[in-house]
């Protein structure tokens, strides 16, 4: 590695690639972007201009082979993640990879094995762990502030469904959307889920069902420590991005509400109301995106473990596979069933 700055190469200049590039370029003085690559050369060039990135690489392989780069940021489509992790690890690059690592546990295990063999650092992009609201919930549970946790409810609803092209390639709602909530569930409770039951359907857009996916789901989880948890997902909430959590404990409860652009309340003779919540993840989780990349940069520069490991990336995929299996087979599914 070079000096006191971590030199990054970015693979993928799409929506999340732009978010991360702007964080590295404008908010992390310990980081420097050396190059960016995307199959869409125009998108890569536009991002390079926006973030003063000196090089637009012709391919991911060029990024990985660049000796001036210490760490790669993988923001490409999910189907490419595992192979890129293997390539980057073998090249001795540290790796920050967006979720999920892959659609199958076999591919994830191969990628994690390559990381272990190379001795490089890997962090998975579960940014919600770094959100101040959810961090406070975790603190209340871990400290015993609300007693022993009994039940947890996570609400996670998008403002509008993604394009059908994305749905067809994403692996489905449990792997592209609920996976964040699966990570939140085990992070907040501090324990592992042993059994999942899913009730779901197509309630928003028939085209999503025609693509083989679901758009509305309720997932019931039983943790090893006895906690009962639910995840409430929908691809469409007309009022905006709905991100809430409540945990009931033996000594009290803790709950988080949505974030808003302002806290003003309008009161008239007809109604009392405030503005809609922040519309989507780019606005809602701006700070958490910055904090997760800051944590990764610090971990690599100081030789410390990353806060969201490869195993943290693997387990939510197992949960997603169990959730889909439960829906398909109309029964509770133990995570042990998908591990084989």
195-238 pLDDT, tens digit per residue, is 999 999 999 999 999 999 999 999 999 999 999 999 999 999 99
Give the tens place of pLDDT for each residue, 251-292: 999 999 999 999 999 999 999 999 999 988 888 899 999 999
Question: Per the structure block, which two tokens stand in for 39?
Answer: 């199959």
> Residue 26's pLDDT is what?
97
Both tokens of 159, joined, read 């403002």
| pLDDT mean over 47-68 | 98
Residue range(s) of every CATH 3.30.360.10 domain in the chain: 129-279+316-339
pLDDT of res. 283: 87
Within the chain, which residue ranges are assigned CATH 3.40.50.720? 6-120
pLDDT at 2 over 80: no
Which architecture, in CATH terms, is 129-279+316-339?
2-Layer Sandwich (3.30)
Percent residues over pLDDT 70 in the chain: 99
Q: Which long-range contacts (CB under 8 A, 24 or more apart) does 300-304 make?
A: 300/1, 300/6, 300/70, 300/71, 300/94, 300/121, 301/1, 301/4, 301/6, 301/30
Q: Looking at domain 6-120, which of 3.40.50.720, 3.40.50.300, 3.40.50.10800, 1.10.443.10 is its CATH number?
A: 3.40.50.720
Question: Mind listing the pLDDT tens digit for each residue in 160-205?
Answer: 999 999 999 999 999 999 999 999 999 999 999 999 999 999 999 9
Average pLDDT, the chain: 96
What mean pLDDT do residues 144-172 have? 96
Rama region for 139: left / alpha / beta (φ>0; ψ in -120 to 50; rest): alpha
Q: Cis (ω within 30 of 0) for the bond into 191?
A: no
Inform me whether the pLDDT recorded for 340 exceeds 90: no
The C-alpha atoms of residue 303 and residue 274 are separated, in whole angstroms, by 46
* pLDDT (average), residues 88-101: 98
Contact criterion met (CB below 8 Å) for 256 and 135: no
Beta bridge partners of 94: 71
Please compute the mean of the pLDDT values over residues 319-330 and round it to a whole number: 98
């Amino acid at each position: 590695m070079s000096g006191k700055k971590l030199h990054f190469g970015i693979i993928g200049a799409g929506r999340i690639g732009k978010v991360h590039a702007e964080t590295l370029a404008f908010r992390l003085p310990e980081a420097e972007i050396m190059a960016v690559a995307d199959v869409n050369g125009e998108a890569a060039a536009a991002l390079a201009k926006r973030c003063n990135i000196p090089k637009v690489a012709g391919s991911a392989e060029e990024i990985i082979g660049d000796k001036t780069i210490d760490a790669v940021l993988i923001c490409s489509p999910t189907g490419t993640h595992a192979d890129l992790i293997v390539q980057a690890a073998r090249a001795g690059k540290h790796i920050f990879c967006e979720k999920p690592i892959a659609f199958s546990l076999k591919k994830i295990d191969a990628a994690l094995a390559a990381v272990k063999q190379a001795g490089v650092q890997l962090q998975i992009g579960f940014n919600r762990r770094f959100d101040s609201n959810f961090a406070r919930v975790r603190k209340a549970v871990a400290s015993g502030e609300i007693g022993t946790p009994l039940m947890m409810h996570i609400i996670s609803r998008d403002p509008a469904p993604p394009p059908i092209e994305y749905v067809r390639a994403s692996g489905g709602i449990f792997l592209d959307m609920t996976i964040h909530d699966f990570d939140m569930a085990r992070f907040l409770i501090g324990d592992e889920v042993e059994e999942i039951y899913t009730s779901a359907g197509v309630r928003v857009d028939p085209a999503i069902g025609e693509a083989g996916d679901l758009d509305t789901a309720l997932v019931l989880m039983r943790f090893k420590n006895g906690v009962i948890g639910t995840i409430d997902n929908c691809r469409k909430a007309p009022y905006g991005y709905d991100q809430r959590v409540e945990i009931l404990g033996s000594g009290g409860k803790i709950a988080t509400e949505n974030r808003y652009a302002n806290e003003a309340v309008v009161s008239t003779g007809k109604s009392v109301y405030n503005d809609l919540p922040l519309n989507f993840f780019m606005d809602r989780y701006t700070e958490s995106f910055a904090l997760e990349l800051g944590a990764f940069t610090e971990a690599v520069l100081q030789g410390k473990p990353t806060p969201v490991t490869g195993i943290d990336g693997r387990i939510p995929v197992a949960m997603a596979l169990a959730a889909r299996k439960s829906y398909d087979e109309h029964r509770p599914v133990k995570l042990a069933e998908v591990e084989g």
